Amino acid sequence: MKKSTIFIGLFIAVLIGIGVIGFAKVNKASAHITEGSDNYTISETWELPKELDEISGIVWIDHQTIACVQDETGMIYIYNLDERAITEEIPFAGNGDYEGIALHNNDLYVMQSDGLLYEVKNWNATNKIVTSHQTGFDSSHNMESLVYSIKDSALLTAPKDKDLEDDFKGLYKIALSSKNVDTNSPAYKIEMNAAALKPYRNKKRYKTFNPSEIAVHPTTHDIYVLEGKNPKLLIMDSNGVLKTVFKLDKINFPQPEGMTFSDQGDLYISNESANGPASIHLVEFNK
C-alpha cells in the first residue's frame, strides 16, 4: 500500500474522531442548557419592550395588570398583559439598582439592592407620596427580593449573597409600621445543607442558593423563592419547611429575577433580556 494512501486514511480517521468528539461535546452542552425543561409547562409568553430589558421585579396588581421595576431606572412600569404594552410609568426615584417590588392595599414598595426601601403610597392616585426607609440591610447583602405576605402581615425579603451565617439564607420580615427589620431573627430559613439542595451545593456554602425573588401563593401560602444566577425555584410550605427544588433550564429562563402570583394562583416569572427580548412567562410546575 502506498504511503500516501496510508496518510490519507489516517487523516480521514483523525477527522472522523474530531467530529465524533465535537458532536458529543455539543450534545452534552445542549443537554446542560435544557436540563430542567421537563419540570414545568409554559402556557403563555409576553415579549417585553426595550424599557424593560433589565426587568428585575414584578408584582400582580389586578385583572391583567402587572407592575414592574428594572435595575437602573427609578420608575415603576404598569404593564397590561391583554394589551401587551406599558400603559403607565410612575417615577419614584433617580437612577439606582432596583430589584424587588411588592404591593399592599394601594401602596407599592420597591427594594434597592443596598436595602433601601421605597414606599409609593396611593400609587394609582394623583397625590402619590414617595418616601424611603433604611431597613437594616446594606449593599453587602445584595437585596433582590420583596413580597407582601398576608400570613405574616409584613413584607418579606432575603439576602442574595451573605447572611448572618454561611449555613443559611433567611427570609426576614419588614414591619409595615416601622419599615425596620430584625436582622438577627429571620422568619424562615433556607438551610444550605438541606437534602434538596445537595445537587447544587457549593464549596462556599452561602453560594449554594442565592435568592433573587420571593412570591407567596395566595391560597396555600406556600413560599416560592427564585434564583436567577443558576436558575432554580425552591418551594417551602407556609411554615417554612422546604418541600422541593426545581432546576430551570437556561433556554426559557436565561436570567429569571421577577416572580408573582395572580389572585387565582397563576405563577408569572420574568426574565431579563438575554440573546433576545426580556419576557414574562405564565408557568405551571409539575406537582
Confidence of residue 138 (pLDDT cuts 50, 70, 90): very high
Given a cut of 60, whether residue 233 has pLDDT beyond it is yes
Give the architecture (CATH level 2) of 41-285: 6 Propeller (2.120)
Given a cut of 80, whether residue 258 has pLDDT beyond it is yes
Given a cut of 70, whether residue 19 has pLDDT beyond it is no
- 204-223 in b/e form (b: 16+ CB < 10 A) is eebbbbbbbbbbbeeeeebb
pLDDT at 22: 46
Burial grade of 141 (CB within 10 A; 0-12, 13-18, 19 or more): buried
Q: Where are the domains of the chain?
A: 1-34, 41-285
Query: Cβ distance 261 to 60 under 8 Å?
Result: yes
pLDDT at 13: 53
Given a cut of 60, whether residue 45 has pLDDT beyond it is yes
Residues 227 and 202: their CA atoms lie apart, in Å, by 14
Confidence of residue 2 (pLDDT cuts 50, 70, 90): low
The rounded mean pLDDT for the chain is 91
Residues 70 and 100: their CA atoms lie apart, in Å, by 9
Residues 61 and 143: their CA atoms lie apart, in Å, by 22
Nearest to 55 by CA among 223, 209, 228: 228
Which tops the pLDDT comparison, 232 or 33? 232
Q: What are 77-129's pLDDT values in tens digits?
A: 999 999 999 999 999 999 999 999 999 999 999 999 999 999 999 999 999 99
β-sheet bridge partners, residue 119: 109, 131
Confidence of residue 23 (pLDDT cuts 50, 70, 90): very low
